Structure 1
Amino acid sequence: MRYLIIGGGLAAAKAVEGIREHDREGDIRLVTEEEHLPYERPPLSKDVLQGKAGVESVFPHPRGWYAEQGVTLVLGDPVASIDPVGRTATLRGGGLLPWDRALVATGSQVRRLGIPGADLPGIHYLRTLDESLALRARLREGGDVVVVGGGWIGLEVAAAARAHDCRVTLIEPQAAPLEGVVGPTLGAWFAQLHDSHGVQLRLGTGVVAFTGNGQVNGVVTEGDVTIPADVVVVGVGIRPRTDLAASAGAQVEDGVLTDARLRTSVDGLWAAGDVARWDSTLFGRRLRVEHWANALDGGLAAGRSMAGADVIYDPVPFFFSDQFDAGLEYAGYVAPDAGAELVVRGDPRANEFMAFWVVPEGSGVRLLAGMHVNTWDTMDAVQALIRRRAVLTKEALADPSATLDELAG
């Protein structure tokens, strides 16, 4: 069997593991766009960016591991097109690779701002290892840093910039960071966390232009206020890289659509990681998740499925974030139309609490998602409650004396 893995992230690396669990002899070729070995992305905005970890920390496997697994690496020469009929892939450099089963793990790309001055030097985006290293080098020089966007990446970059003793301003058009994700109550907590660590917040306003003459020196807000900037980091979201799969005939709708085995609509073609939108039985809808655990688990599941294992991919989504002295984990999924209510356990002012998103169910409520801040070893119980569709009471969820393990049974 000839396997082709297209992508240079964690999903691609884990797919090799999944294949080798069930097929020790098949030919595997892994093709990346970048010159690097497949790597994980969370450290790029966390420990690597802060200088707490070296570059080697991002690689799940060293080069020798791929050789031991009999994998042929094609680095820096990405797949330009896929022929699903002839079962070949054409590389950007003109090479042709045959395959019997292929995995699209092309990930996502950043959304870029198309406003005046957007191409000035000194404006950074953060998605790749090289971008993280370039930004880290610049943050070490200090100065005025303006972060555009108060999502997960923006908040983590702001925390990293403060760790380098930069002066940081964060601009976010919503009334609070992450308000559209976690709601106004927790959005206000994130705002307070960053404010208490010296981040200047400009909320409820957007960015209309960048200023500078050969180098960015300012960010103009909707209120016509110019904020001085030696460095600008833009974090306004990402979008799945579906073009390659779509050109091969795969069905695409906010990601490459797959079944529960991560198979696309094209015979012999799988998808995993950020780019995949899989059919979740647990949540009764298709899901696309842009976080580390989905790449980890999805890549492994796709590799197993490609090698013939009977795989059903139906995880409880999970992610984590580190900002200043707050470590948090989140598990679950809350649809935009869920009408979920927030229940808080503990005191957010102490930076040690839990949050739960619930909907009415029978005589109580059902848990859709849970998040902790500095309250460790709780996510297994949260995921168990979500999987069981357990009917709980808001009072029990809010009561710190009622352990989650007991509630989960």
Structure 2
Amino acid sequence: MAAENTMVIAGAGIAGVHAAESLRAEGYQGRVVLMDRDRQMPYDRPPLSKEWLTDDTDEASMLLRDPEIYGKLDIELKLGVEVNDIDPVRKTITAKDGSSYDWEKLLLATGSKLRTLSIAGDDLQGIFYLRRMADAVAMKQHMQHVNEVVIIGAGFIGAELASSLRKLGIDVTIVERSSYPMEAVVGRDISASLLNLHDRHGVNVILNDSVVQFNGESTVEEAITAEGRRLPCQAVMIGVGATPNTVVSHPQLEAEGGYAVNEFGETSIPDIYAAGDCTLWPYRGTPIRVEHWDHAVNHARTVAQNMLQPRSTPYTYTPYFWSDQHGSRFQYFGHAKQWSKTVLRGSLESHAFTNFYLDDQNRVQAAFIANQPKNALPVRRMIKQQKVIDPEALADETIALKKVPQKSVMNNT
């Protein structure tokens, strides 16, 4: 089939798979090529730190789609294909194995890659980064004879791993270099509340320290910290964040901090689009990057529509992510690098609350919800509408969220 009837998607993760499906759902009849460097069928990554580790799911149920779906939708799934080069003039994409594909439109859905650490002894067995299914399989096999685990990093991945391991009865120590993990995202009070939750479930959290050495014969037996702590362990899990995977590069492709795209998913090169974790996209005029399942799905679907009908559907998504820890469900809506004030609805002690992040005009920019899922819809509406909120009414649980007084900015001036 000619290149003018071919859509190529680089990356078969959450974004890539949903983009391919959306092309078909929108009626595209041409060739759809979905490629990935991984040799395994496309799978869902979030459960790797949750259900997979605790035996609540199996490998087959981790797949994003039944393998037969790709054939039914006439999606050419090319696994084990690592992209080597793109030529935007000839509109070709080349893999390291020498294979080459022509395209009408190209979508980069390459996801993110883990940050790694260089620590003495990090070549010992039993030290893991959790990104791919192969990592999770090796980790799960190793964990069968483990009693003590050290986790480096108290972000959401580290916290979820700690929760899963405690469910298995394993002793867990988290080592975190900051005083309040994720303070820049959720604020100090919420960070302290999360730390308290882990403490109540038997997780030993060490703050203001870092691991500088691993000891052991062939398998890790001990982690040494900068402050001189000696932490016995039979496994180490490292979760210190991720960076956008911009391995597919070209001099004309703007990719500092992620592939820079406009509201339609277009990159700096015509007919090349990008979606999901690998992108830097405009949220209310500010370029941001979001590494979460919900964004990957919705961004991919929107960008697929624009690949077929250019600039037809702007992406107006409100960022959202969730995390399950020790039986609690946490949800975060919006995006706020800074805020003028916070308003707490509920109590931190009950672990059932909603914390709002307001700007200087008392408009809700973001909200962190703990075990109050019913608040999700009104919170999302407040963030989208950007109306001025009465802070006192917002904190008053006797007033339903949907009835909290609001007014437009214009009426407030």
The bucket for the TM-score relative to the shorter chain is over 0.9
**1:233 Cα deviation after fit:** 0.2
For residues 210 and 318 of structure 1, the distance between their equivalents in structure 2, rounded to whole angstroms, comes to: 36
Amino acid at match of 1:367: V
RMSD: 1.5
More deviation, 18-27/110-119: 18-27
Q: What is the rounded CA distance, in whole Å, between the counterparts of 2:44 and 2:403 in structure 1?
A: 35
Within 1, Cα distance between the matches of 2:158 and 2:57? 20
Within 5 Å, give how 1:286-305 maps onto structure 2.
286-305=287-306
Q: Counterpart of 1:287 in structure 2: which amino acid? A: I
Alpha-carbon contact 1:83-1:248 (below 8 Å) kept: no
Shift of 1:340: 3.7
Note if contact 1:14-1:299 (Cα within 8 Å) is conserved in structure 2: yes
The aligned counterpart of 1:329 is 331
Q: Percent identity?
A: 32
2:63 to 38, 46, 59: 59
What SS does the aligned partner of 2:90 have? coil
TM-score, L = length of structure 1: 0.94
| Counterpart mapping for 1:95-134 below 5 A | 95-134=99-138
Structure-2-length-normalised TM-score? 0.94
**Which residue of structure 2 lines up, in the alignment, with residue 342 of structure 1?**
342
Residue number among 376, 380, 402 corresponding to 1:379 in the alignment: 376
The 2-side partners of 1:50 and 1:209 are apart by 28
For structure 2, list consecutive stretches of 5 or more residues without a partner in the other structure. 407-413
The residue aligned with 2:184 is 180
The superposition leaves residues 145-188 of structure 1 with CA deviations (integer Å, 9 ceiling, x where unpaired) of 00000000000011111111111000011113322321211111
- Aligned positions of 1:70-149 closer than 5 A: 70-149=74-153
Structure 1 residues not aligned, in runs of 5+: none
Q: 2:321 is matched by which residue type in structure 1?
A: F
Distance 2:29 2:174 in 1: 52
Q: Counterpart of 2:258? A: 255
User: What is the CA distance between 1:141 and its match in structure 2?
Assistant: 2.8
Q: Which amino acid aligns with 1:404?
A: L
Q: Comparing 153-162 with 54-63, which one deviates more in the overlay?
A: 54-63
> Residue 271 of structure 1 corresponds to which residue in structure 2?
274
Q: Counterparts of 1:256 and 1:297 in 2: how far apart (Å)?
A: 17
Which residue identity is paired with 1:4? V
Of 6, 12, 16 in structure 2, the residue corresponding to residue 8 of structure 1 is 12
- CA–CA separation in structure 1 for the residues paired with 2:403 and 2:215: 57
Structure 2 letter corresponding to 1:13: V
Cα separation, 2, equivalents of 1:353 and 1:224 = 38
> Which residue type is aligned with residue 269 of structure 1?
I
**Residues 216-256 of structure 1: per-residue CA shift (max 9 Å, x gap):** 11111111111111000000010001131x33631112100
Asked whether the 8 Å contact 2:393–2:405 carries over to 1, the reply is no
Change (3 A) 1:366 1:102: same
Further displaced range: 233-242 or 127-136: 127-136
2:11–2:35 CA contact under 8 A, matched in 1: yes
Change (3 A) 1:380 1:215: same
Letter in 1 for 2:371: N
Q: Distance in 2 between matches of 1:359 and 1:116?
A: 45
For the residue of structure 2 that corresponds to 1:24, the secondary structure is coil
Asked if the contact 1:15/1:300 (under 8 Å) is kept, the reply is yes
Check the 8 A contact 1:334/1:340 in 2, yes or no: no
Q: Which residue of 2 aligns with 1:360?
A: 360
Q: Is the 8 A contact 1:146 1:170 kept in 2?
A: yes
**Equivalenced residues, count:** 401
Letter in 1 for 2:40: H
On the 8 A contact 2:209/2:225 being kept in 1, the answer is: yes
| Structure 2 contact 339–357 (Cα < 8 Å) conserved | no
Q: Is the Cα contact below 8 Å between 1:81 and 1:248 reproduced in 2? A: no
